Amino acid sequence: QKEVEQDPGPLSVPEGAIVSLNCTYSNSAFQYFMWYRQYSRKGPELLMYTYSSGNKEDGRFTAQVDKSSKYISLFIRDSQPSDSATYLCAMSKTGNQFYFGTGTSLTVIP
């Protein structure tokens, strides 16, 4: 069983839609949770970081962590064509070694 599970999609939504991206995990020791965005043929870039449970908001992006369900989410409000990318979740026990999901491919249609 993989440490982190993520639906690869692809996900296609109209501009302005609310997007929900999710990951589940099996290791209850994970306490650092991150979301990365990766454009085609580029390296990943950090979008959101959350420690332990709870919500975090940054502009149009909201990250949620539910440790009791071992489930994390990223919500994108008012999605834009520039949000079209692959979104990777990542998590860690110690903050040194991160386990990544396989990524969800998102296309926002103008």
Residue ranges that bind another protein, judged by CB under 8 A: 4, 6, 8, 32, 34, 41-46, 49, 51, 88, 90, 92, 94-103
Beta carbon nearer to another protein, 84 or 86: 86
Q: What's the N-to-C CA distance of the chain in angstroms? A: 38
**Closer residue to another protein in complex, CB, 15/39:** 39
CB of 15 to another protein, least distance (A): 28
Residue 16 or residue 27: which is nearer to another protein going by CB?
Answer: 27
Which pairing describes strands 71-76 and 61-66: parallel, antiparallel, or unpaired?
antiparallel
> Is the CB of residue 87 less than 8 Å from the CB of residue 46?
no
Cβ of residue 53: shortest distance to another protein, in angstroms?
Answer: 14
CB of 17 to another protein, least distance (A): 25
